[in-house]
Structure 1
Amino acid sequence: MSDRFELFLTCPKGLEGLLIEEAVGLGLEEAREHTSAVRGMATMETAYRLCLWSRLANRVLLVLKRFPMKDAEDLYHGVLDIEWQDHMLSDGTLAVEFSGHGSGIDNTHFGALKVKDAIVDKLRTPQGDRPSIDKLNPDLRIHLRLDRGEAILSLDLSGHSLHQRGYRLQQGAAPLKENLAAAILIRSGWPRIAAEGGALADPMCGVGTFLVEAGMIAADMAPNLRREQWGFTAWLGHVPALWKKLHEEAVERAAAGLAKPPLWIRGYEADPRLIQPGRNNVERAGLSEWIKIYQGEVATFEPRPDQNQKGLVICNPPYGERLGDEASLLYLYQNLGERLRQACLNWEAAVFTGAPDLGKRMGIRSHKQYSFWNGALPCKLLLIKVLPDQFVTGERRTPEQRQAEREQAAYDQTPDEPQERKFNKNGNPIKPTPAPAPVIEQPRLSEGGQMFANRLQKNLKAMGKWVKREGIDCYRVYDADMPEYAMAIDLYHDWVHVQEYAAPKSIDPEKASARMFDALAAIPQALNVDKSRVVVKRRERQSGTKQYERQAAQGKFNEVSEGGVKLLVNLTDYLDTGLFLDHRPMRMRIQKEAAGKRFLNLFCYTATASVHAAKGGARSTTSVDLSKTYLDWARRNLSLNGYSDKNRLEQGDVMAWLESSRDEYDLIFIDPPTFSNSKRMEGIFDVQRDQVQLIDLAMARLATGGVLYFSNNFRKFQLEENLAERYAVEEISAQTIDPDFARNTKIHRAWKITAR
């Protein structure tokens, strides 16, 4: 065999430029870039070295033959012509991978089958011995790539992909491949920073992939040093003595690297379930003395070991799969930006993101950006120098001020010099005045964000006196006042609940996303709330009971108050919160009219109207709903206010319950869903179709002189005219709209119905 071979090194898309630099440094000659690959010439020693030391390649393919190919017969004979007895035993195992199409072969499985047939036919013995197929751990892994009529037949020296280093047996939900993580570290300047003794911190480390790859670079460890199985292990062309020499050299380099004082490499992860898997990965990589992982939130991580230590902050924040998810991640990026500005001055930072628009919201500029692919997802690596003149804050600084800040930052990096001690007239030493702590300003809002903040503050001020007078701490402060910012914003005491309405198809999704980010950036500043207390949801047109379906499972309840009662809301688990704010006037009306009355609440949801009736002195309340979940919630609302007695909760289909009930009630409230098809009820409820039957059944339970209030939120609802022939019907919609819903008077319609 030749002393020099043609090699193909494959890699993830976007890493070709970095890989060719690495490969040339390891000895590859005549190197050229291809899509997701690098090609060049090398000795066997260089081929082994690439397998052992490449941090970026997926596979090292040794080209056995190139030949022109017109059809499947050309493929078969081209493979058959190789002296396969020089490469494997006749009773060995084989795996074949085929890529490309053309020359009459459009099916890769068929192409692989023709390659396998040729090899097997070549090695078949008179005794019937022949290679067998083993797709998992074959003696030889063969790859044939078809490229514009040319077949390139190669031996895979790497075996399993080189990104599988062997230390990461446990991983998180969306891990980076090890070679992509290494590429990001190299682009971020970590080899330089590590050589200078710098530190590294990952505030969202997951199971520690960045940390381990950084540790191996810093300690001069070959990334595949611990791998035991290789594609060349059973290859007859393998040179064990040469491999042993290179492997021993790598072992010695790693031992020398690990003997140095370890660099400060730390990871922080909010999810407690990932801490131990991350630590296990670090231990398997042999880097427990270098790398530590702690549980901690982004907003509180402290990266620097001491004031003079500098280094690199690197992270891969979650991307979000839908617009609503991306919006909820805005504050994560803002928290990251705040921590960089507060705790990482003079450090470097690298943020790898599939949502670069969110990266722009950190309040700090990137000086370089690189494009990468994480699988099929296009991503950006944002490189940042954490210096004051890169901060995007509310204050616009002059060039002279920015220069002064740069000089101050440079001064801050120099070691402290001994200062001359000063004494007062009594001979006592004067303590030096400590330098004031740096003021970290809020990121400057965009023009659209500032406009949105102004509107929120205007609305908040306009409702201030009314809210205080009525004793309300949960109300709507914004409801798509400006069409381009299509969302509803509700205050629940010191929490904010944001519902984003789906943008019309005519709106550019990127513009809609940018406006959403502008609005979310403005909310905490305008409403003076902590970002961690802003909950974001995506609201689309609902059908049936979708508004009641569970969105999450945090089970966190917050206590709010209105009209002298306390109510529990859940801002995270469902699209709605357990309290319909627009029905507040109706609840207050019921409270005022309930004294001494028997109150019936149909489709009661969380029974907030029943709590108000009890507060108003109702003789008894009965609340009916099909959902056990919401009746349990209702029970907690009643108990919270001390109204557990004389307040009955009934689970059942309202229509069936009314047909079987024989009790009388003085005050009835009905707020039905638009549509319901629960498995626990017979048939389907449609409010437009079934309103007459519902109201007739309820009126049959109304005592003489009693009042029934009927309300619903179906925009197209029309009350049947023939109801007015049997009952006294008065529409009171305008009387049931409070100031916080005055901008959206069609939020619901309500009627007062009594017997004639």
Structure 2
Amino acid sequence: MSDRFELFLTCPKGLEGLLIEEAVGLGLEDAREHTSAVRGMADMETAYRLCLWSRLANRVLLVLKRFPMKDAEDLYHGVLDIEWADHMVSDGTLAVEFSGHGSGIDNTHFGALKVKDAIVDKLRTPTGERPSIDKINPDLRIHLRLDRGEAILSLDLSGHSLHQRGYRLQQGAAPLKENLAAAILIRAGWPRIAAEGGALTDPMCGVGTFLVEGAMIAADMAPNLNRELWGFTTWLGHVPALWKKLHAEATERAAIGMNKTPLWVRGYEADPRLIQPARNNIERAGLSHWIKVYQGEVGTFEPRPDQNQKGLVICNPPYGERLGDEASLLYLYQNLGERLRQACMGWEAAVFTGAPDLGKRMGIRSHKQYSFWNGALPCKLLLINVNPDQFVTGERRTPEQRQAEREQAAYDQAPVEPQERQYNKNGNPIKPAPAPVVEQARLSEGGQMFANRLQKNLKLLGKWAKREGVDCYRVYDADMPEYSMAIDLYHDWVHVQEYAAPKSIDPEKASARMFDALAAIPQALNIDKSRVVVKRRERQSGTKQYERQSAQGKFTEVSEGGVKLLVNLTDYLDTGLFLDHRPMRMRIQKEAAGKRFLNLYCYTATASVHAAKGGARSTTSVDLSKTYLDWARRNFSLNGFSDKNRLEQGDVMAWLEASRDEFDMIFIDPPTFSNSKRMEGIFDVQRDHVQLLDLAMARLAPGGVLYFSNNFRKFQLEDNLSARYAVEEISDKTIDPDFARNAKIHRAWKITAR
């Protein structure tokens, strides 16, 4: 075989420029870029070195032959022409990967079969011995790339993809591949910072990929030093002595690097479930004495080991692919920006995101951006110098003011000498200089208008709510059409429901407006960003609005008319308390004394709790969901009610047909539509409300009253009900001031026997 070979190095899309620099540095000659690949010439020593040291490549392919092909027969004979006995034994194992199409081959599986057939036929012995297929750990992994009528047949020296370093056996929900993480670190300037003794920190470290890749760069550790299986291990062209020499050199370099004083490398992760997997990965990489990982929220992480230390803050914050997902993450990006401004003055930062618009909301300008691909998702790497010149604030400052801020920041970060800085020459304590104030991010013109509206609503409704003893109410409901959302206050929490924009609205404009509004909410309502919950509300079908969205299980206590209730702001689209029905609940409380109360489709039984508060003789609450009945039980317990309050699980229609009890007051607030598997048939409020009301009225005691309401905007009460019962619409009497702008939120009727 020749002493020089053609090599193809594959990589993720967008890494080609970095890979060619790395490969040339490792000895690749005549290098050229291709899409997701680099091509060049090298000897065997360089090929091994690339396998061992490339932090960016996926695979190192040694080209065995190039040949033109017009059809499948050309492919077969071109592969057959190779002396395969020089590469593998006749009873060895084989795997074939085929990419590209054309020349009569449109199916990669068919192309791989033709390559396999040619190799097997070439090596088949007179006794019938022949290679077999092993897709997991073959003796030889062959790759054929078809490119514009030319077949490029290669031997895969790497085996498994080189991004699989072997240390990351545990990973989070959306991990970065190791070679992409390394590329981001390189683009962020980490090799330079590490050489200068700088620190590295990741405030959202997940399972520690950035930290491990960064520490390996700093310690001069070959990324694939600990890999045991290679594509060339059982290749007959393998030169073991040459490989052992290169591996020994890499081992010695790693030992020297690991014996250096470790750099300060720290990770912080909010999710406690990821802490131990991160530590396990770090230990497998042999870097436990370099890297430490702690549990902590973004808003609390403190990167500086001492006042003089500088370095790189790097992170890959979560980003949603839908507008609603992105919106809910705005505050995370804002918190990151605040921590950078407060705790990382003079550091460099690198934020890798698939949502650049969110990156812009951090309140710090990036001085450079790079495009990457994370799988099929286009992403940006934002590079930031954390200094006051780059801060986006609500105030324009002169160059002199910026210089004064820099001097103040330098003063605040200077090492403190107790004898000189804590006491003056008279021995009296010196008052420390005040910490620099981090200004709130400037609101856009639209965001300020939105904030003004919120503050106006809060001022008007806050007085009413305090007078009525209500601490959960709607403060905004699409008052400004371009800001289409509902905002509810739940004591000291804010619940935001974004309505899906019409298809006629440009998604980018809708996204920008949503971000403007979310930026304004904490300032206008004086609520910490960590207490704002954002959801996206679209047209629901079936029971989708009741389906679980999350699993945090966090309940918040709120009060209403002397009653304490539990709401869950995160786990479901609705919170467990329909705010628009507050007047109906208060009416029930006032009228319930001494009465037997029935609550159908009770949800979390808030109306029943109000009835019990009002002195009801008994309450019965019926719902199909065990989850909501358990929630209802907790609502009763929270108020000290337990006896005389029945909770019945079942289909309401079937329950009414089977019941023989009488009730003095009945409340029915059915869903618009339900097709639960636990009920017979499908419930449609427009179609089925007459049957429902007839069944319920049959259970109403003489002199009793039934309250019926629903939220279906197109609902029409059947006219013939008035012939059998006394029916009075009371919708306008069941709307509180916080829903006055949306008077059609529901309709309600009072029904009694004639």
TM-score range (shorter-chain normalised) is over 0.9
Change (3 A) 1:755 1:422: closer
> Deviation of residue 167 (structure 1)?
1.2
Q: CA deviation at 1:744?
A: 0.2
Aligned pairs, how many?
Answer: 754
Q: CA deviation at 1:281?
A: 1.3
Q: CA deviation at 1:475?
A: 0.4
Deviation at 1:54, TM superposition (A): 0.8
Aligned residue for 2:329, secondary structure, equals helix
Per-residue CA shift, 1:266-286, capped at 9, x if unaligned?
A: 111122222222112111111
CA change 1:742–1:29 in 2 (3 A) is same
Matched residue SS, 2:193: helix
Greater mean alpha carbon deviation, residues 640-649 or residues 518-527: 640-649
Q: What is the aligned partner in structure 2 of residue 414 from structure 1?
A: 414
Over 3 Å counting, the alpha-carbon distance change for 1:100 and 1:624 in structure 2 is closer
Q: C-alpha distance in 1, partners of 2:409/2:69? A: 64
Distance 1:648 1:85 in 2: 82
Residues of 1 paired with 2:121 and 2:97: CA distance?
18
Q: 8 Å contact 2:349–2:386 — kept in the other structure?
A: yes
Residue 508 of structure 1, CA deviation? 1.8
- SS of match in other structure, 1:165: coil
TM-score, normalization by structure 2: 0.96
Contact 1:80/1:122, CA 8 A, preserved across alignment: yes
Q: Which moved more, 1:306-315 or 1:704-713?
A: 704-713
Q: Are the counterparts in 2 of residues 6 and 41 from structure 1 also a CA contact under 8 Å?
A: yes
* Residue 430 of structure 1: how far off its partner (Å): 6.8
Q: Which residue of 2 aligns with 1:460?
A: 458
| Change beyond 3 A, Cα 1:126–1:505 | same
Look up the match of 1:614. Answer: 612
* In 2: Cα distance, 1:423 partner to 1:478 partner: 53
Shift of 1:389: 1.4
- Check conservation: 1:389, 1:405, Cα contact below 8 A: no
1:565-618 CA distance string (max 9 Å, x none): 111212122221111111111111222222233322222222222222222222
Tell me the distance in 2 between the aligned counterparts of 1:80 and 1:204: 52
| Residues 693-733 of structure 1, C-alpha deviations (whole Å, 9 max, x = no match) | 22223223333333222111111111111122222222111
Tell me the alpha carbon deviations over residues 651-671 of structure 1, each in whole angstroms, 9 at most, x when there is no partner. 333333333333333322221
Query: Deviations 1:618-658 (Å, cap 9, x if unpaired)?
Result: 23323222333222222222222223233333333333333
Per-residue deviation, 1:494: 0.7
Larger deviation: 669-678 or 576-585? 669-678
- Distance in 2 separating the partners of 1:416 and 1:685: 72
- Against the structure 1 CA distance between its residues 438 and 87, is the aligned structure 2 distance closer, same or farther, given a 3 Å change threshold? same
Q: Specify whether residues 701 and 73 from structure 1 end up closer, same or farther in structure 2 by C-alpha distance, changes over 3 A only.
A: closer
Q: What is the TM-score of this pair, normalised by structure 1?
A: 0.96
Going from structure 1 to structure 2, the CA distance change for 1:681 and 1:198 (only over 3 Å counts) comes to: same
**Change over 3 Å in CA distance of 1:108–1:417 after alignment to 2:** same
Residues 369 and 381 in structure 1, CA contact (< 8 A), matched pair in contact too: yes
Segment of structure 1 superposing worse, 540-549 or 445-454: 540-549
Q: 1:94·1:139 contact (CA, 8 Å) conserved in 2?
A: yes
Asked whether the 8 Å contact 2:307–2:413 carries over to 1, the reply is no
Displacement of 1:424 in angstroms is 8.3
Equivalent residue for 1:486?
484
Native 8 Å contact 2:412 2:433 kept in 1:
no
Aligned-residue Cα RMSD (Å) equals 2.2
Partner SS for 2:418: coil
Following superposition, the deviation at residue 116 of structure 1 comes to 2.2
Change (3 A) 1:645 1:124: closer
Q: Larger deviation: 714-723 or 230-239?
A: 230-239
Aligned to 2:693: 695
Secondary structure (helix, strand or coil) at the match of 1:154 reads: strand
Q: Structure 2 unaligned runs (5+)? A: none
Match of 1:201 in 2: 201
Query: Conserved in 1, the CA contact under 8 Å of 2:593 and 2:614?
Result: yes
Contact 1:709/1:751 (8 A) holds in 2: yes
Between stretches 107-116 and 209-218, larger displacement belongs to 107-116
Output the CA distance in 2 between the equivalents of 1:77 and 1:428. 93
Q: Does 1:68 align with 2:33?
A: no
Shift of 1:130: 2.9
The change in CA–CA distance for 1:681 and 1:76 in structure 2 (over 3 A counts) is closer
Contact 1:215 1:291 in 2 (8 A): yes
CA contact (8 A) 1:269 1:295 kept: yes
Do the aligned partners of residues 18 and 703 (structure 1) sit closer, same or farther apart at CA in structure 2, a change above 3 Å counting?
Answer: same
Of the structure 1 ranges 94-103 and 338-347, higher mean CA displacement relative to structure 2 is found in: 94-103
Q: Give the secondary-structure state (helix, strand or coil) at the position aligned to 2:163.
A: coil
C-alpha contact (below 8 Å) 2:412/2:435 kept by paired residues: no
- SS of match in other structure, 1:266: strand
User: Does structure 1 retain, via aligned residues, the 8 Å contact 2:307–2:414?
Assistant: no
| Alignment partners' CA distance in 1, 2:604 and 2:551 | 18
Tell me how far apart the structure 1 counterparts of residues 127 and 84 of structure 2 sit (CA, whole Å).
Answer: 18
SS at 2:744's partner residue? Answer: coil
How many Å apart are 1:501 and its aligned residue? 1.2
C-alpha contact 2:373 2:379 (8 A) present in aligned 1: yes
- Inter-CA distance 719–414: structure 2 relative to 1 (3 Å threshold): closer
Tell me by how many angstroms 1:230 deviates: 1.6
CA pair 429-103 structure 1, distance change in 2 beyond 3 A = closer
Distance 1:429 1:698, change over 3 A: closer
Question: Structure 1 553/582 Cα, relative in aligned 2: closer, same or farther at 3 Å?
Answer: same
Q: Could you say if the C-alpha distance between residues 725 and 238 of structure 1 is closer, same or farther in structure 2, counting changes exceeding 3 Å?
A: same
> Residue 544 and residue 133 in structure 1: after superposition, are their counterparts in 2 closer, same or farther (change >3 A)?
closer
Higher mean alpha-carbon deviation, 84-93 vs 448-457, is at 84-93
Query: Residue deviations 1:275-332, cap 9 Å, x none?
Result: 2221121111111111111122111111111110000011111122433222221111
DSSP-derived class of the 1:742 partner: helix
Q: Show structure 1 runs of 5+ residues with no match.
A: none
CA drift of 1:672 comes to 1.7
Q: Secondary structure at the match of 2:242?
A: helix
Name whichever of 457-466 and 677-686 sits farther off.
Answer: 677-686
Identity of aligned residues (%): 92
Q: Does the 8 Å CA contact 1:337/1:364 hold for their aligned counterparts?
A: yes
Instruction: Quote how far apart the aligned CAs of 1:102 are.
Output: 1.4
- Where in structure 2 are the equivalents of 1:195-594 lying within 5 Å? 195-406=195-406, 408-409=408-409, 434-594=432-592
Distance 1:493 1:127, change over 3 A: same
Contact 1:53 1:223 in 2 (8 A): yes
Contact 2:367 2:385 in 1 (8 A): yes
Shift of 1:409: 4.8
Distance apart, 1:50 and its partner CA: 0.9
Map Cα deviations across residues 318-360 of structure 1 (whole Å, 9 max, x no partner).
Answer: 1224332222211111111111111111111111111111111
**CA drift at 1:408:** 4.9
Deviation (angstroms), 1:407: 5.0
Cα offset, 1:417, TM superposition: 9.4
More divergent stretch after superposition (226-235 vs 113-122): 113-122
* Partners of 1:393 and 1:442 within 8 A in 2: yes
